[in-house]
C-alpha cells in the first residue's frame, strides 16, 4: 500500500496538471482563437433593433385622451427564409403592401433582418404571416391620436420608432419617452433566422402630460377659424386665447393642420404651431402698447387735438390714414387708428424709455411658456433706431412679434396691469415624480393705465374701427390691426398681401379671456376690422356660451350657431 504522503502528493500533482490544462485551453480559446469565436458569435447575431414601449399619454384639461399608444404589427423577413423573391413581393403587393425599392435592395443584398412594413393593424399582420411564406411580424407600439387632425400642431407627432418629432411630443419627449426595448435577430442551431425579444406584456404608461386646453373648445374654435379663412380667402391664420387671471391657454388654433397618423402626406408648413412661432409685424394692434407706455408715464395730453386732415411725411416716409378727419384727440386717434395722429404723438417720447417698456411688456424675448417651442421675436435696440422708428414701431412695423406675445400683453390689460407666464401644461407626471409648471407674474403697467386702455378698447368696438366685433351676447373690448407683409423676394412691402388682426378681451366689464385672431393675406378685404374682428366675435360668443360668460340681461338672445 502507498503511504498517505505519496497519495497526497499524487493528487496534488494531478490537480496542478488539470489546472494548467484548463488555463492553457482557456488561453487558446480566448487569445489564440478568440477572434474566430467572436466572429462566429457575431455571425449568429444578425442585427439589433431599438424601439420603445409604454410611451406616456397626453390628456386635455378634462382628462380626455389626446395621445396614447396602440399595439400594432410590424412585418419583417429574412432573405434566407424566402424561397421565391418575385412570388414573395407579388403576394405582398396583392395584399396592399407596397414594397419600396429600398426594401427590395435590402432583401437582395443581405441575408439579415429587413423591415417590410411598420405599424400595420394586428389582424393584417397576422393574415400576412399566415399566407405568405417568409413573413413574420413583431408586436410594437405606435401613437394614436383620438382627436385626429384637431390640435395636431400643438401635439405634434412621433416617428416610426415612437420618438417625438414635433409639438409637445418633441418638446417633452424625455418625459413621455417610455421604456427602451432592444430586439435582436439571431440564427438558431439549424441556421434559420429568428427574432428574439422581450415577450412580456406592455404595461400601462406611468407618465402623462395634462394640458390646460379643452379638446371640445379647441375643436369648436378650429371650425370657426377655418370657416373664416375660407370665407375671406386667407392663405393661413391662427387664434389663441388666455385666461387673463391665470395665464392658462384656453385654446391655440391654426388654419393649416395635418393628420399625425400620416404626417408625411402634408407639407412641413402644415406642422407650424402659429400661435407660438409665427413672426409678423403686428400693425395697429401694437398702438395699444404705445398708449400703455405714454399713459403710464403721464405723457398724454387728453385735451389736445392733433391735425389729422392730411398725410404726413417724416424722414422720407409718408404716413396715411384710411379716412382723413380734421382733428382728433388721443382717444380718437386710438379709436379710429390714425397713423397720422400717432406720428405726432410720439415725437417727444424718449426712445430708451420706450424700448425698455416694450421689452418689459414681453416683446423681443420668449414668454417662458413650458412645453412648446416658441420664438422670441425681434425688437431692435434704441441705438439701431432710425428717424422713423418711434413712429413705425408704434403703428406695428420694424419689429416682429408672435400671437402669444400679443395676447399675453392684452391679458395683462384685463388683469389690472399684471402679466403672467402663459401656461399650457397643468401637470407632468414621470413615474413617481410630478411637475406643476409655475406661473411667474410681474406688473407691466399701473392698474389705472390698464383701466384706461380697457376704456379705449371698449370705445373702439362700440364706435370705432372694431364695430364688427360688437356682440349682443358678450361685451367685447379690442383693437383692429392691418399691416403690409414684407416680400423678401422683392425686398419691399407687398401691395397685395396683408396681415389682418383683432386683439382684445371679454367680457369687457370684467375680463376673463384675452384673445387674438390673425389672418394671413385675406383676399376679400385687407382690414382686420372687416375680417378678424368678425371671427373674434364669433369665437367670443362660442366661448361665452360654453364658459358661461353671457351678458345676464341678454341671455334671451343667446341662441347662436
pLDDT greater at residue 281 or residue 438? 281
Q: Rounded to 5 degrees, what are φ and ψ at 310? A: -150, 160
SS3 track for 343-402? HHHHHHCCHHHHHHHHHHCCCCCCCCCCCCCCCCCEECCHHHCCCCHHHHHHCCCCEEEC
pLDDT in tens, 503-549: 999 999 999 999 999 999 999 999 999 999 999 999 999 999 999 99
Q: Rounded to 5 degrees, what are φ and ψ at 433? A: -95, 135
pLDDT in tens, 304-332: 999 999 999 988 889 999 999 999 999 99
Query: For 451-478, what is the mean pLDDT?
Result: 97
508 contacts 475 by C-beta, under 8 angstroms: yes
Q: Rounded to 5 degrees, what are φ and ψ at 168? A: -60, -35
Query: Is the pLDDT score of 83 beyond 80?
Result: yes
Cell of 487: 416680400
Q: 517: Cβ–Cβ under 8 A, 6 or more apart, which residues?
A: 225, 228, 237, 238, 239, 501, 502, 503, 532, 533, 535, 536, 539
User: Given this model, what pLDDT does residue 189 score?
Assistant: 44
Query: For 78-93, what is the mean pLDDT?
Result: 88
* Interatomic CA distance for residues 431 and 40, integer angstroms: 41
* Interatomic CA distance for residues 103 and 312, integer angstroms: 67
pLDDT band per the 50, 70, 90 thresholds, residue 149:
very high
User: Given this model, what pLDDT does residue 183 score?
Assistant: 66
480 contacts 541 by C-beta, under 8 angstroms: no
39-53, 384-398, 407-421, 459-473: the lowest-pLDDT one: 39-53
Counting Cα atoms < 13 Å in the Cβ hemisphere of 378 gives 11
Query: Is the pLDDT score of 238 beyond 50?
Result: yes
* Interatomic CA distance for residues 86 and 64, integer angstroms: 47
User: Given this model, what pLDDT does residue 8 score?
Assistant: 60
Burial degree of 236 (CB within 10 A; 0-12, 13-18, 19+): middle
Nearest alpha carbon to residue 71 among 33, 108, 123, 6:
123
User: Given this model, what pLDDT does residue 556 score?
Assistant: 35
Query: For 417-441, what is the mean pLDDT?
Result: 94
* Helix, strand, coil shares, percent, the chain, to 5: 40, 25, 35
Average pLDDT, the chain: 88
238 contacts 220 by C-beta, under 8 angstroms: no
Counting Cα atoms < 13 Å in the Cβ hemisphere of 156 gives 19
User: Given this model, what pLDDT does residue 199 score?
Assistant: 44
pLDDT greater at residue 35 or residue 118? 118
Is CATH 3.90.1310.10 the classification given to domain 53-177+185-211?
yes
Query: Is the pLDDT score of 218 beyond 70?
Result: yes
Query: Is the pLDDT score of 121 beyond 50?
Result: yes
User: Given this model, what pLDDT does residue 34 score?
Assistant: 53
Nearest alpha carbon to residue 505 among 533, 478, 469, 542:
478
517 contacts 529 by C-beta, under 8 angstroms: no
45 three-state secondary structure: strand
% of the chain beyond a pLDDT of 70: 85
Nearest alpha carbon to residue 224 among 242, 212, 237:
237
pLDDT greater at residue 307 or residue 495? 307
pLDDT band per the 50, 70, 90 thresholds, residue 136:
confident
User: Given this model, what pLDDT does residue 35 score?
Assistant: 55
32-46, 99-113, 140-154, 192-206: the lowest-pLDDT one: 32-46
Query: For 171-185, what is the mean pLDDT?
Result: 81
Query: For 271-294, what is the mean pLDDT?
Result: 97
Nearest alpha carbon to residue 520 among 502, 503, 498, 496:
498
Counting Cα atoms < 13 Å in the Cβ hemisphere of 236 gives 15
pLDDT greater at residue 17 or residue 231? 231
Query: Is the pLDDT score of 349 beyond 90?
Result: yes
Cell of 136: 413574420
For the chain, the domains span: 53-177+185-211, 215-261+268-557
pLDDT band per the 50, 70, 90 thresholds, residue 427:
very high
Cell of 465: 374701427
Query: What is residue 548's DSSP assignment?
Result: T
49-58, 190-199, 299-308, 336-345: the lowest-pLDDT one: 190-199
For domain 215-261+268-557, the CATH superfamily is DD-peptidase/beta-lactamase superfamily (3.40.710.10)
Nearest alpha carbon to residue 435 among 364, 513, 371:
371
Amino acid at each position: 500500500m502507498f503511504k498517505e504522503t505519496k497519495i497526497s502528493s499524487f493528487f496534488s500533482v494531478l490537480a496542478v496538471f488539470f489546472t494548467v490544462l484548463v488555463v492553457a485551453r482557456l488561453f487558446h480559446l480566448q487569445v489564440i482563437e478568440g477572434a474566430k469565436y467572436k466572429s462566429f458569435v457575431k455571425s449568429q447575431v444578425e442585427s439589433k433593433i431599438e424601439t420603445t414601449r409604454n410611451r406616456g399619454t397626453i390628456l386635455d384639461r378634462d382628462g380626455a385622451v389626446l395621445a396614447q399608444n396602440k399595439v400594432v404589427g410590424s412585418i419583417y423577413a429574412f432573405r434566407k427564409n424566402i424561397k421565391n423573391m418575385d412570388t414573395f413581393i407579388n403576394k405582398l403587393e396583392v395584399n396592399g403592401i407596397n414594397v419600396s425599392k429600398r426594401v427590395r435592395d435590402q432583401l437582395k443584398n443581405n441575408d439579415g433582418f429587413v423591415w417590410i412594413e411598420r405599424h400595420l393593424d394586428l389582424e393584417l399582420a397576422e393574415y400576412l404571416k399566415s399566407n405568405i411564406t417568409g413573413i413574420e411580424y413583431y408586436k410594437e407600439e405606435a401613437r394614436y391620436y383620438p382627436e385626429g387632425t384637431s390640435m395636431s400642431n400643438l401635439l405634434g407627432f412621433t416617428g416610426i420608432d415612437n420618438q417625438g418629432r414635433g409639438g409637445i411630443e418633441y418638446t417633452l419627449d424625455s418625459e413621455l419617452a417610455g421604456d427602451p426595448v432592444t430586439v435582436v435577430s439571431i440564427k438558431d442551431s439549424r441556421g434559420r433566422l429568428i427574432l428574439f425579444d422581450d415577450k412580456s406584456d406592455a404595461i400601462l404608461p406611468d407618465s402623462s402630460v395634462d394640458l390646460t386646453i379643452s379638446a371640445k373648445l379647441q375643436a369648436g374654435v378650429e371650425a370657426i377659424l377655418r370657416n373664416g379663412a375660407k370665407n375671406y380667402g386667407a392663405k393661413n391664420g391662427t387664434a389663441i386665447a388666455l385666461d387673463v387671471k391665470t395665464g392658462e391657454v384656453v385654446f391655440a388654433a391654426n388654419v393649416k393642420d395635418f393628420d399625425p397618423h400620416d404626417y408625411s402626406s402634408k407639407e412641413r408648413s402644415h406642422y407650424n404651431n402659429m400661435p407660438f412661432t409665427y413672426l409678423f409685424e403686428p400693425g395697429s394692434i401694437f398702438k395699444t402698447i404705445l398708449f400703455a407706455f405714454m399713459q403710464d408715464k403721464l405723457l398724454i395730453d387728453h385735451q389736445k387735438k392733433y391735425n389729422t386732415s392730411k398725410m404726413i411725411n417724416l424722414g422720407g416716409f409718408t404716413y396715411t390714414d384710411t379716412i382723413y378727419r380734421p382733428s382728433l384727440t388721443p382717444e380718437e386717434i386710438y379709436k379710429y387708428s390714425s397713423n397720422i395722429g400717432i406720428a405726432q404723438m410720439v415725437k417727444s417720447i424718449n426712445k430708451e424709455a420706450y424700448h425698455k417698456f416694450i421689452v418689459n411688456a414681453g416683446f423681443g424675448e420668449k414668454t417662458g411658456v413650458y412645453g412648446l417651442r416658441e420664438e422670441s421675436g425681434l425688437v431692435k435696440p434704441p441705438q439701431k433706431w432710425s428717424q422713423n422708428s418711434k413712429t413705425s414701431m408704434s403703428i406695428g412695423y420694424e419689429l416682429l412679434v408672435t400671437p402669444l406675445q400679443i395676447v399675453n400683453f392684452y391679458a395683462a390689460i384685463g388683469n389690472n396691469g399684471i402679466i403672467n407666464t402663459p401656461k399650457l401644461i397643468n401637470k407632468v407626471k414621470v413615474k413617481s415624480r410630478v411637475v406643476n409648471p409655475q406661473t411667474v407674474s410681474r406688473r407691466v403697467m399701473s392698474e389705472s393705465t390698464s383701466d384706461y386702455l380697457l376704456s379705449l378698447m371698449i370705445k373702439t368696438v362700440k364706435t370705432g374701427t372694431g364695430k364688427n366685433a360688437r356682440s349682443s351676447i358678450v361685451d367685447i373690448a379690442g383693437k383692429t390691426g392691418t399691416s403690409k407683409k414684407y416680400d423678401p423676394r422683392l425686398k419691399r412691402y407687398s401691395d397685395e398681401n396683408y396681415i389682418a388682426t383683432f386683439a382684445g378681451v371679454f367680457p369687457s366689464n370684467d375680463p376673463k379671456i384675452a384673445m387674438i385672431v390673425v389672418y394671413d393675406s385675406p383676399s376679400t378685404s385687407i382690414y382686420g376690422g372687416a375680417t378678424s374682428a368678425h371671427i373674434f366675435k364669433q369665437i367670443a360668443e362660442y366661448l361665452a356660451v360654453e364658459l358661461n360668460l353671457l351678458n345676464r340681461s341678454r341671455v334671451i338672445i343667446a341662441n347662436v350657431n
